[in-house]
Amino acid sequence: MTPLRQRMLQDMQMRNLSPHTQEAYVRAVAKLAGYYRTSPDRIDPEQVRAFLVRLVGRQVSHSLFNQTRCALVFFYGVTLGRDCPLDRIACQKQPKRLPVVLSQAEIAQFLAATGRLKYRALFMAVYAAGLRVSEVVALRAQDIDSQRMVLHVCQGKGKKDRYVMLSPKLLGVLRDYYRAFRPTATLFFGRDKGRPLDRGTVWRACRAIARRAGLAKRVTVHTLRHSFATHLLEAGVDLRTIQALLGHRSLRTTALYTYVSPERVAATPSPLDLLGAAATGSQGA
């Protein structure tokens, strides 16, 4: 590892950036250096700007562009301590798209197609508790509190702990799984019993199960989390409670699900239906 990379990692660790953010930032700076085939501290601001313009020309995703920009701003402004004109390059606006949500019947269809006990327990936990993929692979046996019927999500996104409900159905499957696999460090492990299951493996398994289940929608692990929140909303759970269960910092993020729930939309009368029959031309001939 070069001294420059080591310094950048130390700077990010001092600011308590998550390991995933650290990996992404280092990868972005490495791509810049690879593009110009020189050490990144020898690349001037105009070259960095040209690199970002090239990313736009390649039509990379908005999130990748913004992440790369933030990584380079951090590297030049913090690690190298230079005045950073990149601050004046705005982040791209993210398109606001509604998340994909499965119906309860589709969730049942998905879970029925999981096959292996490990994946049935894992994906049931994601849906039953609204977990992120990073949170479910980090679950440990001691995080299951069967006395109080809660799961302890330890150091979720934003370095925050929270409690979520423990479904009795999920508890039964987790007990079957524990008896069969006897996990040690984390509940869901890969080939090495001492290491958590790789997130990429979980994503690939999710896609394969969705295909096997015959679901036409594009299903990701996060789709199960979106479905968890939407189904709670449809069951009458208030937004503040859903916000706490999801671990959202802002209620505005949780409020997105008020636009997703088809049940709520269908149950809301159109103002057209509130007009009198004469106004809508519904009188008899």
Q: Which pLDDT value is given to residue 185?
A: 85
In the chain, what is the straight-line distance between the N-terminal and C-terminal CA atoms, in Å? 85
What percentage of the chain has pLDDT greater than the value 90? 50
Higher model confidence: residue 5 or residue 1? Answer: 5
59-73, 76-90, 170-184, 205-219: least confidently modelled range: 76-90
- 275: region left, alpha or beta (phi > 0 left; psi from -120 to 50 alpha): beta
In the predicted model, what is the mean pLDDT of residues 217-233?
A: 91
Question: Any idea which residues carry the catalytic annotation?
Answer: 132, 157, 222, 225, 248, 257
- Of the pLDDT bands very low, low, confident and very high (cuts 50, 70, 90), residue 170 is very high
For the stretch 96-155, pLDDT in tens is 777 888 999 999 999 999 989 999 999 999 999 999 999 999 999 999 999 999 989 987
CA distances to 52, 68, 94, 105, 140 from 60, in Å: 10, 11, 12, 35, 37
Task: Specify the CATH number of the domain 104-266.
Answer: 1.10.443.10
Assess whether pLDDT exceeds 80 at residue 239: yes
Q: Which pLDDT value is given to residue 102?
A: 92
Q: Which pLDDT value is given to residue 267?
A: 72
In the predicted model, what is the mean pLDDT of residues 179-202?
A: 89
Q: Which pLDDT value is given to residue 282?
A: 54
Q: Which pLDDT value is given to residue 277?
A: 59
Nearest-angstrom CA–CA distance, 167 and 164:
9
Q: What is the pTM of this model?
A: 0.71
Most confident of 33-42, 190-199, 258-267: 33-42
In the predicted model, what is the mean pLDDT of residues 193-209?
A: 91
CB atoms within 10 A of CB 181: 15
Nearest-angstrom CA–CA distance, 240 and 106:
26
Superfamily of domain 3-88: Tyrosine recombinase, N-terminal domain (1.10.150.130)
- Of the pLDDT bands very low, low, confident and very high (cuts 50, 70, 90), residue 285 is very low
- Mean model confidence pLDDT for the chain: 87
CB atoms within 10 A of CB 137: 22
The residues, any chain, with a CB within 8 Å of residue 178's CB and separated by 6 or more, are: 141, 187
Question: What are the residue ranges spanned by the domains of the chain?
Answer: 3-88, 104-266
CB atoms within 10 A of CB 164: 21
In the predicted model, what is the mean pLDDT of residues 188-197?
A: 86
In the predicted model, what is the mean pLDDT of residues 187-204?
A: 89
72-76, 215-219, 278-282: least confidently modelled range: 278-282
1-10, 93-102, 181-190, 253-262: least confidently modelled range: 253-262
What backbone phi and psi angles, to 5 degrees, belong to 278?
A: -65, -35
3-state SS, one letter per residue, for 13-82: HHCCCCHHHHHHHHHHHHHHHHHHCCCHHHCCHHHHHHHHHHHHHCCCCHHHHHHHHHHHHHHHHHHCCC
